Structure 1
């Protein structure tokens, strides 16, 4: 799109937002949050395609003033990177919190299916995990080290390989959302059933606790991130199936933008999980129980806070700011 067309298409929206934010014309905090996120989207688009344009300065100033007015701060860092993680992603996650819930419900349901299937069919675990993996794990259990498979390879090799694989799973989960969310559900199905069968195998062998305190050192962030990536895919699918008052094309564009931002937000957690799997999980047997459990609770607490608690905190700040406008 040419710059002139971009400005013409969005000019009225920007002017409307500018008037609304300074004349207290928003009907509710949801509207304010949505308009702010759209403004940030336009700023990012302009920075990408019109890097020397004066419109970037205008949008940046408007975004900065809007942020300062919303949060009532005398001085506030309006750096694009900081704003993305501190405000933009949390507001988007809160806006699509239903889809995060749907993703968790789907995933946990699939985990339950994996557990039940494994408990009622001796061949199911081998069907899902493969004979080689099962045989190797059973051998490790007999040797007194249930999670020995995570100690193979070098630290850096494991970290890089595992991280790339997890990024691939997350990106695929999001992209498959284009099939009305069914592709995303399929990825969640595969991973959920695999996890259920995997954990039941350790339960059946009487080493569930040993597996938990080892595998979940990295698994807490890894699995949580996969579910959130699934939520991003469901957002994409819903934008196609349920455009509401927007055209399907416009709804899809918004779904792509918001879904990609949710997806990107999981990448630091995916890298952290890969690092833990490559450098920490392999030493789980040598750790005192309180340390391994502490790492699990810490990693789960961090990612849970960012996606389940912090978005509501940011939104409440927005509500409070709106109430005093």
Structure 2
């Protein structure tokens, strides 16, 4: 069968299924499961005979939404909180995985721009970070403690203040997605360039390693989580700009709901990063290098696994056809 004929034959069925999933127009879970099987059969057929077709992407997304709906209708042995993190968020992350790629590529591109700009312009670091902060950091470096700024204030005060600030940045990165993703891009631009310029400043002073072994104890999880909220913002922007077969209002509501799930999933990581910054980073100078490296790599590995590997495991285990 030619692809055009395949789409024409099944288009009405897919559109009705799509509307039914969003509006929850099913008499019982068995009806949804039966239609889901038909959808998977269509997806398998498309992958076999039209491997480069865009219809595969569409059916993949539709199947992912249907699977989430089926799981919600089942009786869960785990409580709602565990289900949210164990199943719901990973499924949403898998569905929107390309937006995570966009966010990470943009952020680290901006960080590279920040570092290169600092390398070719002696005034760039002060322009981005401000004279007061740069002067304070230089003074700390001369005193032999490049990350002394993280020792100011009390443990609990730093923990609470830093956590709330990071969550605020994450919320802005998501909400600013309503401007077609441009607002989210601006947040990633600001933070990426600051990171690149910040680390290059330590490099020029010959204390890059001292900064890395201290700052990235909390920074690995903190920066990663900020980029994740950027992906949520891009999802929101895409829901407005590219509604597909949905009305723009419906597409926005779906994107907002899915993006909000991703945003909420970052809060525990922001809390963990704030705890590390308030209670651990300040003692980095007294730590053996091996301990600092272990903390950095373990926190990075944990959050990377949750957002980059685990979603594939959950989705593929639940549905081998996806």
TM-score, normalised to structure 1's length? 0.83
d(CA) in 2 for partners of 1:262, 1:145: 37
Answering whether residue 31 of structure 2 is matched by residue 19 of structure 1, we say yes
8 Å contact from structure 2 (residues 236, 256) kept in 1: yes
For residues 220-247 of structure 1, what are the alpha-carbon distances to aligned partners after superposition, in whole Å with 9 as ceiling and x for unaligned?
0000000000000000000000000100
Number of the residue aligned with 2:244: 244
The alpha carbon displacement at 1:22 in A equals 5.2
d(CA) in 1 for partners of 2:63, 2:74: 12
Aligned length: 283
Which 4+ stretches in 1 moved above 6 angstroms? none
d(CA) in 1 for partners of 2:149, 2:261: 34
8 Å contact from structure 2 (residues 33, 70) kept in 1: no
Number of the residue aligned with 1:48: none
Number of the residue aligned with 1:298: 298
SS of corresponding position for 1:245: coil
Number of the residue aligned with 1:79: 79
Number of the residue aligned with 1:195: 195
User: Where does 1:142-161 land on structure 2 (aligned, <5 Å)?
Assistant: 142-161=142-161
8 Å contact from structure 1 (residues 112, 193) kept in 2: yes
d(CA) in 2 for partners of 1:139, 1:17: 65
Answering whether residue 138 of structure 2 is matched by residue 138 of structure 1, we say yes
1:36 to 47, 51, 67: 67
The alpha carbon displacement at 1:16 in A equals 7.0
Number of the residue aligned with 2:118: 118
User: Where does 1:1-325 land on structure 2 (aligned, <5 Å)?
Assistant: 10=23, 12=25, 14-15=26-27, 18-21=30-33, 24-27=37-40, 28=43, 30-38=61-69, 62-64=73-75, 77-320=77-320
The alpha carbon displacement at 1:210 in A equals 0.5
8 Å contact from structure 2 (residues 110, 192) kept in 1: yes
The alpha carbon displacement at 1:77 in A equals 2.0
Change (3 A) 1:11 1:153: closer
Change (3 A) 1:16 1:77: closer
SS of corresponding position for 2:319: helix
Number of the residue aligned with 1:45: none
Number of the residue aligned with 2:56: none
8 Å contact from structure 2 (residues 103, 227) kept in 1: yes
d(CA) in 2 for partners of 1:30, 1:95: 6
d(CA) in 2 for partners of 1:258, 1:199: 34
Number of the residue aligned with 2:15: none
The alpha carbon displacement at 1:63 in A equals 2.6
8 Å contact from structure 1 (residues 36, 63) kept in 2: no
8 Å contact from structure 1 (residues 125, 201) kept in 2: yes
d(CA) in 2 for partners of 1:192, 1:155: 27
**Long gaps (5+) in structure 1:** 1-6, 41-59, 65-75
SS of corresponding position for 2:245: coil
d(CA) in 2 for partners of 1:16, 1:179: 39
Change (3 A) 1:144 1:11: closer
